[in-house]
Chains A and B, each alone.
Chain A
């Protein structure tokens, strides 16, 4: 019953409110509580309820979703508190008679509510954050709105890929960090008289990415998303080579390197005659190894294959080429849009053949899984 007692002092109420927010998923520690109380102190004397709300919002909500959610939670909290107090007053007489019994269902439900109803809360959070909603949505049921969000997400992944610094150094002419070793070496011929300065900067890790994308009939549901994915990826990250395959392999890097998505799509349609056809993964991969493998595959290359593994070709060919790719590349990631559905097992013949040579086997059916992909690329 302590929870629904009306707190008489403001500060005690604030602490209770903080507890309430914490149950709603806010990251509020002693530091935040102290901030809020301190803020109230500097604001005193209080004359308007609005400034209390604004003040708590400024001190307790620390991300955008939290800010968006705050006003609603704030109202809820005080409303429910009021209700709880009223009900307590009304039931007071009756309660005395049944002293020692369980709390009445009504009070219990309020108590639950104040302690945060887990299932409802997650739902509420989700509706406020677009990321969350898209996170769980399957790409096969996707409108253009979702694709826009996904493109944003990919852009982020690509940026952090491109930004990654290596521990190595690179010489530079810009006066950044003084490279002592090279400076001394450079000036040796002048008898140690230091005239020229040499500098270094951190080198960038240049990870090459090869995308192999299945556009056969069985992938039709997802191909709209896949193309968007590939296009967005390529636009955001330069060191990427893209191939699509159904019965044979096509290099589409240059077609996709277009500012305009419409032009890119047209170029793609012209370049790939076997769209939505059958699948010969093995033969396509063999061709990839033969004509591009030597040039593109090295220990800095991440190979991402996007396919459901439905193969009408030769499984032997597939495992052979996968072995080759695995031995040359740094990492092989297989993204399967079907892997997200419940009860999925990689039983297709093609997948069985390829499985031993895959480092990461992941689903690619929603934005949530894309975020996982980001972790694998690190």
Chain B
């Protein structure tokens, strides 16, 4: 349905990297690259948000620089830090060389002693990299505003050295799991993409692509089962990674169809919370009826 040269190129690029995609993702990635804008990707855990950045980096033949956000992340971990230990050692060794204070100062505040953290790395890299700012919603609001500043100016000032300007503007991907609302300002700076859990067709496609040796019927059953499991009210809804793990495990066991016992004994692969497992076990027959009914229809 998409008939545009640029879009086709992106789609091909994603497909070649083994990323099964849909038109909205292709469009967003294309526009983010063309307009040189950050792309904010939201969606539940395990739908392949981070994967997009990895695939983009490979496709663009550049490096991926990743800034994993966490509670209490601050500028020293995102930007730069001086290597204090090395500075001290250097001073110590330069003690008897008779160098002047100015010279020593210039020495220890040179790039040699600068620890580059992801953001600084990204703007000083010789080729525009893909900068992945992962799970921004985990960091606090202060960090978000700080990030805004970097994303708009593309320069970082270090008091001892001066201002460092970006040699290339990196392609930025920001992901969020919606643990907390992001600020309006950040949203407006980025293009927005929402990725939902894949529907049956897409998931089946992914499974076939990533687990080549899998039995056709098993793949369908696994995907149907996952679709049903996601409708349950779980603490941790399984993502695509879980589906793939499960499919791989079952395929390695040379199994060609699902049965109740098998599911019960391998439930730990897709559900990672004991309450979820218990809940799934309780409604296993019900789940199975749905999955079974669908695959019976397929046999006709």
Chain B residues in 8 Å Cβ range of A43: 4, 6-7
A47 at the interface (CB under 8 A from B): yes
Contact across chains for B27 and A35 when beta carbons are under 8 A apart: no
Contact across chains for B76 and A177 when beta carbons are under 8 A apart: yes
- Cβ-closest chain B residue relative to A44: B4
Name B184-237 residues within 8 Å CB distance of A.
184, 187-188, 190-194, 233
Contact across chains for A67 and B192 when beta carbons are under 8 A apart: yes
Contact across chains for A48 and B42 when beta carbons are under 8 A apart: no
Known A-B contacts A29-B188, A47-B3; A163 and B34 likewise in contact (beta carbons under 8 Å): no
Chain B residues in 8 Å Cβ range of A46: 4
Known A-B contacts A54-B23, A58-B192, A260-B275; A63 and B187 likewise in contact (beta carbons under 8 Å): yes
Chain A residues in 8 Å Cβ range of B140: 163, 165
Partner of A39, one of B24, B35, B180, B193: B35
Partner of B24, one of A42, A57, A260: A57
B71 at the interface (CB under 8 A from A): yes
Contact across chains for B24 and A58 when beta carbons are under 8 A apart: yes
Known A-B contacts A39-B35, A51-B4, A58-B27; A176 and B76 likewise in contact (beta carbons under 8 Å): yes
- Cβ-closest chain B residue relative to A46: B4
B112 at the interface (CB under 8 A from A): no
Contact across chains for B42 and A62 when beta carbons are under 8 A apart: no
Known A-B contacts A43-B4, A156-B179; A55 and B31 likewise in contact (beta carbons under 8 Å): yes
**A-B Cβ contacts below 8 A, count:** 91
Interface size bracket, A side:
35 or more
Partner of B194, one of A38, A50, A64: A64
A110 at the interface (CB under 8 A from B): no
Chain B residues in 8 Å Cβ range of A156: 179-180
Name A108-165 residues within 8 Å CB distance of B.
148, 156, 159-160, 163, 165
Chain A residues in 8 Å Cβ range of B72: 163, 165, 201-202
A79 at the interface (CB under 8 A from B): no
A43 to B9, CA, bound (A): 12
Chain A residues in 8 Å Cβ range of B27: 51, 54-55, 57-58
Contact across chains for B180 and A35 when beta carbons are under 8 A apart: no
Chain B residues in 8 Å Cβ range of A67: 192, 194
- As a 0/1 sequence over residues 61 to 82 of chain A, the CB contacts with chain B under 8 angstroms (1 = contact) are 1111001000000000000000
A201 to B73, CA, bound (A): 11
Contact across chains for B188 and A61 when beta carbons are under 8 A apart: no
With both chains docked as a complex, state the minimum distance between the C-beta of B173 and any C-beta of chain A, in angstroms.
14
- As a 0/1 sequence over residues 54 to 78 of chain B, the CB contacts with chain A under 8 angstroms (1 = contact) are 0000000000000000011010100
Contact across chains for B35 and A48 when beta carbons are under 8 A apart: no
Chain A residues in 8 Å Cβ range of B76: 176-177
A13 at the interface (CB under 8 A from B): no
Known A-B contacts A57-B24, A61-B192, A63-B192; A35 and B37 likewise in contact (beta carbons under 8 Å): yes
A259 at the interface (CB under 8 A from B): yes
Contact across chains for B233 and A259 when beta carbons are under 8 A apart: no
With both chains docked as a complex, state the minimum distance between the C-beta of A164 and any C-beta of chain B, in angstroms.
8
Contact across chains for B187 and A148 when beta carbons are under 8 A apart: no
Contact across chains for A160 and B180 when beta carbons are under 8 A apart: yes
Name A158-213 residues within 8 Å CB distance of B.
159-160, 163, 165, 176-178, 194, 197, 201-202
Chain B residues in 8 Å Cβ range of A58: 24, 27-28, 31, 191-193
B265 at the interface (CB under 8 A from A): no
B2 at the interface (CB under 8 A from A): yes
With both chains docked as a complex, state the minimum distance between the C-beta of B152 and any C-beta of chain A, in angstroms.
11
Contact across chains for B188 and A178 when beta carbons are under 8 A apart: no
Contact across chains for B192 and A31 when beta carbons are under 8 A apart: no
A86 at the interface (CB under 8 A from B): no
- As a 0/1 sequence over residues 2 to 16 of chain B, the CB contacts with chain A under 8 angstroms (1 = contact) are 111011000000000
B84 at the interface (CB under 8 A from A): yes
With both chains docked as a complex, state the minimum distance between the C-beta of B201 and any C-beta of chain A, in angstroms.
18
- Cβ-closest chain B residue relative to A28: B188
A202 to B23, CA, bound (A): 45
- As a 0/1 sequence over residues 257 to 298 of chain A, the CB contacts with chain B under 8 angstroms (1 = contact) are 001100000000000000000000000000000000000000
B88 at the interface (CB under 8 A from A): yes
A20 to B178, CA, bound (A): 28
Name B133-156 residues within 8 Å CB distance of A.
140, 142
A32 at the interface (CB under 8 A from B): yes
Known A-B contacts A176-B76, A178-B84, A202-B74; A27 and B31 likewise in contact (beta carbons under 8 Å): no
Contact across chains for B34 and A39 when beta carbons are under 8 A apart: yes
Contact across chains for A39 and B187 when beta carbons are under 8 A apart: no
| In the complex, the 7 A-B pairs of residues with the closest C-beta atoms, listed nearest first | A54-B27, A42-B34, A47-B3, A62-B192, A62-B187, A58-B28, A67-B194
Residues in A lying within 8 Å of B, measured CB to CB:
27, 29, 31-32, 35, 38-39, 42-43, 45-48, 50-51, 54-55, 57-59, 61-64, 67, 148, 156, 159-160, 163, 165, 176-178, 194, 197, 201-202, 259-260
| 14 further contact pairs, Cβ within 8 A, besides A159-B179, A165-B140 | A32-B188, A35-B35, A39-B34, A39-B35, A51-B4, A51-B7, A54-B23, A54-B24, A57-B27, A62-B190, A156-B179, A159-B180, A165-B72, A259-B275
